[in-house]
Amino acid sequence: MRALILSGLLFLTALSASAAEPFRFTAIPDENTARLQERFDKVAAYLSAELDVEVEYIPVKSYSASVAAFKNDQVQLAWFGGLSGVRARRAVPGSKAIAQGAEDPEFITYFIANTQTGIQANEILPHAIANRTFTFGSKGSTSGRLMPEFFIRQHFSQAPSAVFSRVGFSGDHSKTLALVQSGSYQVGALNYKVWENEVKAGNVDTTKVRVIWKTPTYPDYNWSIRGDVDATYGEGFAEKVKAALIGMEDRQLLDSFPRSRFIAADNAMFAPILDTAIEIGLIDE
């Protein structure tokens, strides 16, 4: 009998320790890191209150680091771009895309040019970008690399290295804007939401940089959760996280993404991203 009681106590202690384990999330570093820290600390506070568990935001330095943190169970939830989400979910069996911004099923990349180039806005990708210097964002970015490269290859029937005189990777969308605006690169590609945010913040000088082309739409950002969270935090926990994200109504929180609201997502929505990544050699079949 004593052994049974002891066994039960040990079980309850283990269960309590498991329930007390902090729930951690990260996000791709797609713009200014100070802004990201401020944004996601607030998201952590919101999720802590909604989920009744301690929630921590874990910053990372690169897109690949966000995928690695998810793969290694350093975080259990992540705000990914389309490509990083596909990579992360493929690395962790049972992982799911659970939410996305209402705008994310129809995301857009803006191609921008320094005004000194004389390149004007067009409804099709301007051929005049050829033989210029060009910067993508991060190598792992959907809107800053994957889809721009896809459209460049589609238009020119050549890899970017053959189209441009020099190709760079800025690391994030804000830096892409800064590099093209300063003239360090003549042309670049970035997330349209970051462009709109920077315009709103007064950080875009339209006498120096302009949007020259808007891509067709494609699916992008998403919240993805590991497949083993219910085992750690209790049955139905993944659904609670999903409900908390979709139920987010605080306008200040939503505006910081910026998204009008979050909606349900699933893995199948991102099949076009996987197909494109395989097609241009960023992911093996």
Fold of domain 2-104+219-279: D-Maltodextrin-Binding Protein; domain 2 (3.40.190)
Best CA proximity match to 88, nearest among 106, 60, 114, 66: 66
| pLDDT at res. 102 | 96
Does residue 7 surpass a pLDDT of 90? Answer: no
Element (H, E) at 262: strand 262-264
Does residue 16 surpass a pLDDT of 50? Answer: no
Does residue 19 surpass a pLDDT of 70? Answer: no
Does residue 161 surpass a pLDDT of 50? Answer: yes
Alpha helices (H) along the chain? 2-20, 33-51, 63-71, 82-91, 147-156, 160-163, 173-182, 192-200, 229-233, 237-246, 251-255, 271-279
pLDDT band at 146 (very low <50, low <70, confident <90, very high): very high
Does residue 273 surpass a pLDDT of 60? Answer: yes
Per the CB < 8 A criterion, the answer to whether 66 and 40 are in contact is: no
Q: Which of 100-104, 157-161, 234-238, 252-256 has the lowest mean pLDDT?
A: 252-256
Q: What does the DSSP 8-state code read for residue 142?
A: I
Per the CB < 8 A criterion, the answer to whether 82 and 220 are in contact is: yes
CATH architecture label of 108-214? 3-Layer(aba) Sandwich (3.40)
For the chain, domain boundaries: 2-104+219-279, 108-214
Secondary structure of residue 168 in the 3-state scheme: strand
Average per-residue pLDDT in the chain? 92
| pLDDT at res. 6 | 43
Does residue 4 surpass a pLDDT of 70? Answer: no
pLDDT band at 256 (very low <50, low <70, confident <90, very high): confident
CB atoms within 10 A of CB 227: 14
pLDDT, tens only, 174-229: 999 999 999 999 999 999 999 999 999 999 999 999 999 999 999 999 999 999 99
Which of the pair, 279 or 3, is modelled with greater confidence? 279
Does residue 233 surpass a pLDDT of 90? Answer: yes
Residues in CB range of 105: below 8 A, 6 or more apart: 217, 219, 269
| pLDDT at res. 35 | 79
| 10-39 core/surface letters (b: 16 or more CB in 10 A; e: else) | eeeeeeeeeeeeebbbbbbbbbbeeebeeb
| pLDDT at res. 180 | 98
Place of tokens 């309850």: 12
pLDDT, tens only, 23-65: 999 999 887 777 788 889 999 999 999 999 999 999 999 999 9
pLDDT, tens only, 69-88: 999 999 999 999 999 999 99
| pLDDT at res. 20 | 60
Secondary structure of residue 26 in the 3-state scheme: strand
Does residue 238 surpass a pLDDT of 90? Answer: yes
Q: Answer yes or no: same fold for 2-104+219-279 and 108-214.
A: yes
